[in-house]
Amino acid sequence: MRLAAFTDYGLRVLMRLANAPEASFTTAEIATQFSIPYNHLTKVVQDLVRGGYVTTRRGAGGGIRLARPADTITLGDVVRFLEQRYAVVECFRRDGGVCVLRPQCRLRSHIAVAGEKFLQSLEETTIAECAYPGPPPTAARSAKPVQRR
């Protein structure tokens, strides 16, 4: 199964926060550390807030923090939440897609089962188990935020 970049970025944010649950990180810091476009990452963080995974605070001392302990957040839960807008194949789209095979397709049910097994396997791992300690000090200083035009 292939995850959307949006989901990958969301997992990266949570992994970074899991390593320092009492700390706050700015979106710019995380964008720089992971070479993610800042504007794209702000959308990812907004979704993580909506999902109850992180909280944000503006101003001095503000930033992004985990909303609950990392050992209570499973990869499966996060992937299910962030991937809900993406269809694995055409016929899984919310509007049903336009697949001409749909009336007699024998593949759809197998894809659904495989997808569910994939997600169930991710339920066995927490964000805490995947905590990312951050880049080495020299790499952190040389990284620059990615800007898209």
Indicate the domain borders of the chain.
5-142
Q: Does domain 5-142 have CATH number 3.10.250.10?
A: no
Tell me the per-residue pLDDT of 47-93, one tens digit each, with 9 for 90 and over.
Answer: 999 999 999 998 887 899 999 999 999 999 999 999 887 776 666 76
The burial of 94, by beta-carbon neighbours within 10 Å (0-12 exposed, 13-18 middle, 19 or more buried), is given as exposed
Q: What is the 3-state secondary structure (H, E, C) of 85-117?
A: CCCCCHHHCCCCCCCCCHHHCCCHHHHHHHHHH
Q: What does pLDDT average to over the chain?
A: 86
Residue 141: band (very low, low, confident or very high) from pLDDT cuts 50, 70, 90: very low
Q: Please give the structure tokens belonging to residue 98.
A: 């336009």
Terminal-residue alpha carbon distance, the chain: 31
**Measured CA distances, 32 to 29, 70, 142, 143 (Å):** 5, 22, 10, 6
pTM: 0.81
